[in-house]
Amino acid sequence: MNFENIIANIDSLPPLSNAAFLVQQLYSRDAENVNIAKLVRIIESDALLTANILKMINAPVHGFSKKIASISHAVTLFGTRNIYGLVINYAINEKIKANTAIYGLSAPEFNQMCHLQSTLMMQWYSKIDLRHAQLLAPLALIMESGKLVLSNEVAKSNYVQEFKKGFRDCEDIERYEYSLIDTTSYYLSALLFEHWHLEPLYIDILKGLDFETDADTKLGSYMDTLDVIRVAINVKHILSDESILLACNVVEDLGLDPKHFKNTAIRVRDTYLKDETKR
């Protein structure tokens, strides 16, 4: 298990589905003014993609009071940026079948964690900067994709039990990943996005997530905002009291209101836990 092998495996991954490719092409032309009619037609041309998006959007964590029954309705309520994230998330999960048990989470639990990251981003930051939130919520949904790659690499190695123990004992997930492969799963996510020619800005953000950034730059601001989310919700702590408190400290360091963040995080957690008890 080494960085070179991981790169080779990423490079060998097949293209995303035709629908995902067409959606990416649509966004690459003008992400701010996506042709909604074309977007709906592309998604609806793939029955499994359509069903999956409607299933994800109707999850209780999103808080819609009435069932959303059509893609056009979903785009209207959820926004084109968030729909982009859902399409790419589904496409990635179709291409990378990973056993995330090395992180102590089943595949559905891992996917739920990613949705919670996106939900918290949107519900928290939309009150601060809506455009900023709309840009980052889709990235929050798919930024952990590199962990799927790493999960597969560990599964093929002789280090499964060693990885599980090291992960369980570590205090800093990214530092632990770095000790194994000289990089982090966020950088692997960036390489995945490059391989599939996804949003260039997302690639730049992911590559810079674990390095010193200048908060005065727009890119640095995006990274700082995502850092709050991944402190509050990650593969070791999903909105625990401890992780919410740590995230509040990061929020305060950014000069933002920690009380607003804490209230939002607890609201998202309560909705998530309520949904879990119904299952």
pLDDT digits (tens, 9 = 90+) for 199-249: 999 999 998 886 655 556 888 899 999 999 999 999 999 999 999 999 999
Instruction: Please tell me the total count of domains within the chain.
Output: 1
pLDDT value of position 137: 94
CB 147 within 8 A of CB 100: yes
pLDDT value of position 78: 87
Share of the chain above pLDDT 70, in %: 95
CB 113 within 8 A of CB 105: yes
Q: Which domain holds residue 186?
A: 3-97+104-278
Share of the chain above pLDDT 90, in %: 66
The model's pTM is 0.91
pLDDT value of position 59: 81
pLDDT value of position 276: 63
- CATH number of the domain bearing residue 261: 1.10.3210.10
